[in-house]
Amino acid sequence: MTTDAHALFQSHPRSYSHNKYVYPVLSRRAKGLSIGVNINPDKSCNFNCIYCQVDRSTPGTVGPIDLEALRAELEQMVELAASGRIFEGPQFASAPAELRRLRDIAISGDGEPTLRPELPQVVDICAEVRRRSGLDDLKLVLLTNGSLLHKPEVAVALKTLDANNGEIWFKLDAGSQHFYYQVARSAVPRWRILANLIEAARARPIVIQTLLMRIDGVGPSDEEMGTYCLLLRTVASDGGRIKLVQVHTIARPPAESCVTPLPDAEIDRLVELIRRETGLPVEGFYGAAAEG
């Protein structure tokens, strides 16, 4: 990869021009251009991950989402990306040819999107803009920690997602209960995450996103990795469908300084281990390639 392309993947601003909600990212995980929709400008989350890479040095913006502004930003960005004009601008001028393609609209950003009451309307807007774009293979992606998928209003959003080439990217960083509480530092009980994981994977094939890291210089233990693989096998044996496991590590400054990225060779080793132990498709992404 060229130095320019490398820098492109590392560059991951959640702002573009004067936009408040919508930003473009060259995404190796999406294998092209991803349009991010940040519905957490308030930076709210019910997890407090030790590796969180959201910049909390500045406060978020509270208040309701301006849905009409979001729609206008999204329409404009999809047009810019689908027409290819976005690659004429300075931010993506050096993007490799094979990545010059709009792949998805990803609802993600600076917090947990399922916390926002506007989620169903936001998914509706994304679906409508996608339909009008005429790009049949354009995906809608919801990045989530999975803690609130059982809520009726979130279920409404998932239904729309399912009907519009949608995908859930479910964050699962821990196999054991102990490691979950150590990493996520959340009041959400572990059983709730697991129940939602199985339910979501039974309803449609999902993507698992797992961030692995060193804590105080030490990577995940063999025991933890064994428990994690067992959990994935249990989801599958309970009727859950996992279409892909994405393994990545940190790429930007984390919440806690005890957290550092895993070296590339360690990512490769763990990807191979998960593949072997679960039989699932697994993709690894190195530190410089990670996106949050």
Task: Give me the residues that bind ligand SF4 (CB under 6 A), please.
Answer: 45, 47-49, 52, 54, 111-112, 145
CB nearer to ligand SF4: give 147 or 165.
Answer: 147
Shortest separation between residue 113's beta carbon and ligand SF4, angstroms:
9
Beta bridge partners of 166: 140
> What is the distance in angstroms between the CA of the first residue and the CA of the last residue of the chain?
21
CB nearer to ligand SF4: give 52 or 193.
Answer: 52
CB nearer to ligand SF4: give 54 or 161.
Answer: 54
Please, are residues 205 and 243 in contact by the beta-carbon 8 Å criterion? yes
Distances (CA, A) of 49 to 9, 16, 136, 180, 226: 22, 26, 35, 9, 22
Kindly state the helix (H) or strand (E) to which residue 72 belongs, with its residue range.
Answer: helix 67-82
Shortest separation between residue 56's beta carbon and ligand SF4, angstroms:
9
Shortest separation between residue 272's beta carbon and ligand SF4, angstroms:
25
Kindly state the helix (H) or strand (E) to which residue 11 belongs, with its residue range.
Answer: none
Shortest separation between residue 173's beta carbon and ligand SF4, angstroms:
8
CB nearer to ligand SF4: give 145 or 249.
Answer: 145
CB nearer to ligand SF4: give 112 or 167.
Answer: 112
Alpha carbons 277 and 151: distance in angstroms, whole number: 33
Shortest separation between residue 49's beta carbon and ligand SF4, angstroms:
3
